[in-house]
Amino acid sequence: MSAQQISVAVLGAGGRMGSEAVKAVEAASDMQLVAALGRGDSLDQVVEAGATHIVDLTVPDSTEANVHFAVENGLHAVVGTTGWDAQRLQRLEQKLTEHAGVAVLIAPNFALGSVLASAFAAKAAQYFESAEIIELHHPNKVDAPSGTAVRTAELMAAARRELHVPPSPDATESQLDGARGAVVEDIHVHSVRLRGLVAHQEVLLGSAGEQLSIRHDSFDRASFMPGVLLGLRTAASRPGLTYGLDGYLDLGL
């Protein structure tokens, strides 16, 4: 796939993520931004502008129609909008069978580092006796633990069950309420809230005489853009529907 083929239309260009995507595509030497659509703009502009790929960063109400339009016009789609439930995914897979060669990537999380960290943590959790998670966020966050921490714990727990790894050892007999954190499928998860922080997560794995720590720090929204660009660069070689950025990372984990 040569560089001139990545002609990108950004949908939702007026939003916070969309405006970051516009900047990222403009800065990428192997891409050109051919259209940037906001609320109310006609999808026809995408085709008229000669786009080969779309990035959809709109809203749950319009993302399905946008992606179907792209597929029908033979354009690859990289989608960060939420709202893709099982029924929508099924309808999209059906649509894609009629358009061989077209690729759609739908990813709930475009932070490459976060996706890698979760995949590594799940793999490594199979080989260590103990496993815990610390997640740290700004103090305006209303839920604890973070959704990413819960998903990471679930992935780690599933990987451990697969190899029949017993629960982490823990001799605690007396504790102040909450000291040992929340427990998500046998994995203890601790949530720190601290002014100055953004979104951070550390997975700690221990065995006799050693520790492995995998930490991801998100400092700002710009961290999602390398994942979007990777999606655009990889899509043409992965026809059909891919759910989750890890599907493009060849992790083989």
82 is in an annotated binding site: yes
Query: Do 149 and 185 touch, CB atoms closer than 8 A?
Result: no
31 is in an annotated binding site: no
139 is in an annotated binding site: no
Q: CB under 8 Å to 240, separation ≥6 — which residues?
A: 93, 96, 103, 104
Query: Do 30 and 53 touch, CB atoms closer than 8 A?
Result: no
Point out the catalytic residue in the list 23, 95, 123, 141. Answer: 141
Query: Do 168 and 186 touch, CB atoms closer than 8 A?
Result: yes
Min dist CB 148 to a copy of itself, Å, is 13
* Peptide bond just before 145 cis, omega within 30 deg: yes
107 is in an annotated binding site: yes
Min dist CB 13 to a copy of itself, Å, is 19
Q: Is 216 designated active site?
A: no
Min dist CB 140 to a copy of itself, Å, is 5
By beta-carbon proximity to a copy of itself, the closer residue of 84 and 128 is 128
Which uninterrupted H or E stretch holds 119? helix 112-125
Taking every pair of Cα atoms in the chain, the longest distance, rounded to a whole number of angstroms, is 68
By beta-carbon proximity to a copy of itself, the closer residue of 14 and 167 is 167
By beta-carbon proximity to a copy of itself, the closer residue of 102 and 214 is 214
Q: Is 141 designated active site?
A: yes
Min dist CB 28 to a copy of itself, Å, is 12
Q: Give me the long-range contacts of 90-93 (CB less than 8 A, separation at least 24).
A: 91/64, 92/64, 92/67, 92/68, 92/241, 93/240, 93/241
225 is in an annotated binding site: no
Point out the catalytic residue in the list 53, 76, 137, 190. Answer: 137
Report the binding-site residues: 12-17, 80-82, 107-110, 138, 147-148
Residues with a catalytic annotation lie at 137, 141
Report the binding-site residues for (S)-2,3,4,5-tetrahydrodipicolinate: 138, 147-148
